[in-house]
Structures are given as C-alpha cells and as structure tokens.
Structure 1
Amino acid sequence: MSSDAGSFGVLGLLIVVVAYFVPTFVAFGRGVPNKGSVLVVNLFLGWSVVGWVVALAMAARSR
C-alpha cells in the first residue's frame, strides 16, 4: 500500500466521522437547549438512518 492510499483512508475516515456528527455540530452551533440529548441520540442511534435524521430534526428545532 502506498502512502497516498493510507492518507486517503485517514481523510475518508475523518469525512465519515464529521458527517456522522453533523446533527451534534448543528445543535451546538445553534445553541439549542437540548444539545446534550442530540449528542446522545446521535452517538448511540446515529448509525441508523432514522436515528441520524431524528438527531438532526432535534438539532434543527426552533429555539
């Protein structure tokens, strides 16, 4: 395996992790009152598409 392939793997993993936690970043960025709940739902249920969407909906709710 070349060095470029290893770098791409690390970059790819970083992109996936950031995409996984988008609802959490949105919640903390908007300062929603239930940001802890968004983090927990995202962390434990975000692997399912439904859990990720629920966490994003919680983060996008009006303040």
Structure 2
Amino acid sequence: MSLFLVAFIALCFYLIPTIIAFIRNKRNKVAIFALNFFLGWSLVGWVVSLVWALTHD
C-alpha cells in the first residue's frame, strides 16, 4: 500500500505542469501534456513544460 502511495505522489509531482495547464484552461494544454509526458523525465523538458503552463496565452 505504501508503494502505491509513493508512486501516486511521484506521478502527481511529475504531472504538475499538465495539472496546472488544465486548471488554468490553457489553449495548448494537450501540447503541454505531450511535452510533459514524453520529455518530462529530463529536467529540461519538465521545466519547459512548467514555464509554458505558467505563462499567459
């Protein structure tokens, strides 16, 4: 059970840029999700998707 909880928390942290994009109803939220999903494992891809999610449309 604790392994499931740790994995869930890690997944939520990994998808923070996507969650922010959907909450803010960004115009490019699907593209932000794709960038976060495919390149989020690298720190650069995660930071780029986070900055993209936080900028104004």
TM value normalised by structure 1: 0.86
The unaligned stretches of length 5 or more in structure 2 are none
Instruction: Give the 5 Å matches for 1:20-31.
Output: 20-31=14-25
TM-superposed deviation, 1:8: 1.1
Q: Find the aligned partners of 1:52 and 1:8 in 2 and give their Cα distance.
A: 26
- Report the RMSD for the aligned CA atoms in angstroms: 0.6
Correspondence for 1:11? 5
Map of 1:61 onto structure 2: 55
Q: Radius of gyration: which is bigger?
A: 1
- How many residues align? The count is 57
Q: Which runs of 5+ in 1 are unaligned?
A: 1-6
TM value normalised by structure 2: 0.95
Q: CA deviation at 1:50?
A: 0.6
Structure 2 counterpart of 1:3:
none
